[in-house]
Amino acid sequence: MIPSVLPTYNRAPLSFVKGEGSWLIEADGRRFLDLGAGIAVNALGHAHPALVAALTEQAQKVWHVSNLYQIPEQQALADKLVEATFADTVFFTNSGTESCELAVKMARKYWYDKGQPEKTDIIAFEGSFHGRSSAGIAAAGSEKMTKGFGPLLPGFKHLPWGDLEALEAAIDETTAAILLEPVQGEGGIRPIADADLKAIRALCDDRGCLLVLDEVQCGMGRTGRLFAHEWAGITPDIMMVAKGIGGGFPLGAVLATEDAASGMTAGTHGSTYGGNPLGCAVGCAVMDQVNTPAFLHGVNRKAGLLRQKLEGLVAAHPDVFEEVRGVGLMLGLKCKVPNTEVVAAGYDNLIITVPGGDNVIRLLPPLTLSEDEVADALIRLDAAAAQIETA
């Protein structure tokens, strides 16, 4: 008999009743150190006082009004994002995959309005993830996500990750945009080199196509800059955001330059819930916490410490781990045993990590993780690896 919850997930036998900072707690009191953060969502950990205050204050005022009206909280969050980034304008969604939908529509409409309607194709990369909507799965293209769901949205080409020669050859008069994650998340924590991202930006400028970045997982301070592309010193034309931007409240956004967004006039796109007062009040609180030099400096400091300790872990357990990879607090441990075994051994030792592609376990802790918690995480990961070695 089919379960009452549609069984599209293989769920771990864990059930949390409370969250506090970097910790998730089960009903029996067992406390797990959370290096998953709901897959890079709980950027400020669980039950952060500033977010609880923002949510409860807004809940007592007004939850939902519709985008038919002015929404001051939405305006405030858009202003903060425009002030802090390359973007001139922002559309709010409720998730990453909705941000993908708009990014694709915006890129196509741009060229249509410029009198080049043949430019509809989007070049994306193997190993990418852009969500589970029809555009999202077509954009990522992997058989795992698309099989049985055809006909797929047309107009996507897929190239090997980071292959600049193939990219140069693939761009033609139908190319509307190049779409990529500066650090592939689901694909197994695979960063693109800064020099390659610079080269892709230059290619877009030379060949006349838009650069669309998916920073749903790597954005909002995760890599130690507000957005990951800042490390390469470039800016995109369009950027998808979600996950960390709401700190656990469902919130996403598409950020764009004035030029890239120029086709999106009144009536061309919409969302009932996107940009609602509750989500945007929380989003403002997240931005106020994350977007300060001191906070981002702290992310980099802790990231350096965690990475250094993880290098030691890999050296100590060469039969379990192959390497550490990633940027900031978006780190991956490439495993030599099945990654799901390592994640399960982590559960036994009260630490949560997230499996990813390429046999990697992902470490995506709350950005508020303390240095003591970094040390604690290493003790637990070490015990998990030892457990696998003696099994």
Q: Which residues bind ligand PLP (CB under 6 A)?
A: 95-97, 129-131, 181, 185-186, 214, 216-217, 242-243
Whether residue 132 is annotated as binding a ligand: the answer is: yes
Residue with tokens 């004035």, as numbered in its chain: 258
CB of 185 or CB of 247, closer to ligand PLP? 185
CB of 331 to ligand PLP, least distance (A): 15
Whether residue 65 is annotated as binding a ligand: the answer is: no
First to last CA, the chain: 35
CB of 219 or CB of 224, closer to ligand PLP? 219
CB of 55 or CB of 183, closer to ligand PLP? 183
CB of 262 to ligand PLP, least distance (A): 24
Handedness of CA 311, 291, 185, 176 (dihedral sign): negative
Of all residues in the shown chain, the one whose CB is closest to ligand PLP is 96
Whether residue 215 is annotated as binding a ligand: the answer is: yes
Whether residue 96 is annotated as binding a ligand: the answer is: yes
Paired tokens of 146: 């698309």
CB of 119 or CB of 276, closer to ligand PLP? 276
Residue type (1 letter), 68: L
CB of 182 or CB of 298, closer to ligand PLP? 182
CB of 185 to ligand PLP, least distance (A): 4
Instruction: Identify the DSSP state of 153.
Output: P
Residue 118: CB atoms within 10 A of its CB come to: 12
CB of 72 to ligand PLP, least distance (A): 25
Q: What is the CA radius of gyration of the chain?
A: 21
Residue type (1 letter), 11: R
Paired tokens of 335: 């495993």
Handedness of CA 109, 90, 146, 6 (dihedral sign): negative
- Measured CA to CA, the distance from residue 129 to residue 151 in angstroms comes to 19
Decide: 35 and 377 in contact? Cβ < 8 Å: yes
CB of 192 to ligand PLP, least distance (A): 13
Whether residue 214 is annotated as binding a ligand: the answer is: yes
Decide: 214 and 198 in contact? Cβ < 8 Å: no
- Residue ranges of the annotated binding site are 96-97, 129, 132, 214-217, 271-272
Q: Specify binding-site residues for N(2)-acetyl-L-ornithine.
A: 132, 271
Binding residues for pyridoxal 5'-phosphate: 96-97, 129, 214-217, 272
